[in-house]
Every structure is written in C-alpha cells, then in structure tokens.
Amino acid sequence: MSNVEKALAKFASAVRVACEELSRDMNEAMPQFASASEKAPQPVQNKSTFEPTFPEPLDRLVVITNEGEHWKVKFKQFASKEDFSLVARIVKEYGGEYYSLGKDSQFRIPKKTP
C-alpha cells in the first residue's frame, strides 16, 4: 500500500468516526429527527462475551489482550497523535481508559460495567 493510499485510508477512517459522532450528537440534540431504528432500544451486549474491535486501519496498529477482568489495548509501535486520539475515543466509548505506565502504557476496557 502506497503512502498516498495509507493517508487516504487514515483520512477516510477519521471522517467516518467524525460523521458517526456528529450523527450521535445531532440525534441527542434533536431526537425528533432520529430515525426509528436509532430510537429503538438496542440489546445490551454482555461485555464478558465480546472482544472490542477497531476499524481499519486502526485494527492493524493495536494488540488486544484478554487480561481477565479487562481487555488490554496496546499499540504495536509508536502511534501518531491522530491514531492515539482515535483509539482513545473508541476505548472511551467502550467504557475504558488510558493508563500511563511508561513502556507498558496501555488502554484498559472493563469487561463488566461497574
């Protein structure tokens, strides 16, 4: 994959995430315009039975490890500011947070809601 293709894929992923956030914000601000499917209650996922997922190309940048009580998400290599921000946003949506632990810095996503 060329540098241009990589840049386009990264840009497309960032635009998709931004559009999803904008759509969610708009539906919260103006619920009368939300589609019926977005208004319908969504089934609650049992967090102990799923593994968090990341969209391409972020999925190739992180390693997800089952750590018992939580999922550990680490970058395979140094991450750009944009990639770090996108992963942090997704982890937060899963209810997780970042732990600054020097070389072992990581995101943790709890398997069960507190």
Report the C-alpha gap between 100 and 54 in whole angstroms.
21
Locate 68 and state its tokens: 């018992």
pLDDT by residue for the chain (114 residues), tens only, comes to 777 666 666 776 776 777 677 667 666 666 655 544 344 333 334 444 578 889 988 999 999 999 999 999 999 999 999 999 999 999 999 999 999 999 899 999 998 755
Locate 61 and state its tokens: 């940048």
Report the C-alpha gap between 73 and 67 in whole angstroms.
10
Angle subtended by helix axes 3-29 and 81-93, to nearest 10: 40
Report the C-alpha gap between 4 and 17 in whole angstroms.
20
